[in-house]
Amino acid sequence: MSSSNVGLGPRAASWRLLALTILLSSLAACTLLPATKPLQTFVLPAGSSTPSDDAPLNATLRLATPRSNEILKNRRILVMPAPNQLNVYQGARWSTDAPSLLRDRLTEAFRQNGRLSGVIGGSNQIKSDFVLLSELDAFHSEYAAGAPWAVIRLEAQLVDSASRNLLASQYFTIRVKSEDERLESVVEAFGRAADELSQRLVGWSLAYLGDHIES
């Protein structure tokens, strides 16, 4: 008389092992995270500066990268949908961080103006007659009356390289309305805001340096 506790035969054990393997594989597949979509990368739209007809200045200027808080050092495109609420545009980022974007745009504007004998940008530590220091307080879009605006706020400081004395400082606030709520339109608004800041800052800097050099 056979016992009811007889063990499984080799064939039954193999089928059981196969079923267990399939089950574990299915569970592992269920725990996999969905593939992350690549972020769309945006550059700051090109500027439109023109050479100056004013007399050239025999001076060199170095533009330091603007100081900023840690949030602005991130490459994500910031948006303020409501007062005191900061968020990011999903699936999008700048080609580099905001301080570097702005430094490169300002450097380009000074060079295209053509009045200075030399303009030094980036992390280049070549000796210059003057240094433009700055602090970036805002580089985001914010909603007002239901529409997004590109906002840039920057404090600029002109420093004499030899004496390290602060010669002048100026605070700039730029707001440019986007044509619509599409991210591409917001990026274009950032480009126009950077253009306006460049024109105002270059004009202020060269006017002061011209008076300082002549005095």
pLDDT tens digits, one per residue of 112-126: 999 999 999 877 778
Q: Is the residue at 15 inside a domain?
A: no
Confidence of residue 34 (pLDDT cuts 50, 70, 90): low
Q: Tell me the average pLDDT across 57-83.
A: 96
Tell me the percentage of the chain whose pLDDT exceeds 90: 72
Annotate 51-114 with DSSP letters as a single string.
Answer: ---SPPEEEEEEEPPPB--TTTTSSEEEEEEETTEEEEEEEEEESS-HHHHHHHHHHHHHHHH-
Total structural domains within the chain = 1
Query: Do residues 209 and 186 make contact, with C-beta atoms less than 8 angstroms apart?
Result: no
pLDDT at position 19 is 55
Confidence of residue 1 (pLDDT cuts 50, 70, 90): very low
Q: What is the Cα 100 distance to its own chain's centre?
A: 7
Query: Do residues 100 and 56 make contact, with C-beta atoms less than 8 angstroms apart?
Result: no
Q: Is the residue at 4 inside a domain?
A: no
Q: Is the residue at 51 inside a domain?
A: yes
In terms of pTM, does the model score above 0.95?
A: no
Annotate 150-173 with DSSP letters as a single string.
Answer: EEEEEEEEEEETTT--EEEEEEEE
Q: Is the residue at 23 inside a domain?
A: no
Confidence of residue 195 (pLDDT cuts 50, 70, 90): very high
195 contact partners, CB below 8 Å, separation of at least 6: 47, 48, 49
User: For residue 73, what are the domain limits?
Assistant: 40-214
**Mean pLDDT across the chain:** 87
The CATH number of whichever domain residue 210 belongs to comes to 3.40.50.10610
How much is the CA Rg of the chain, to the nearest whole Å?
A: 29
pLDDT at position 25 is 54
Q: Is the residue at 32 inside a domain?
A: no
Q: Is the residue at 16 inside a domain?
A: no
Q: Is the residue at 19 inside a domain?
A: no
Q: Is the residue at 100 inside a domain?
A: yes
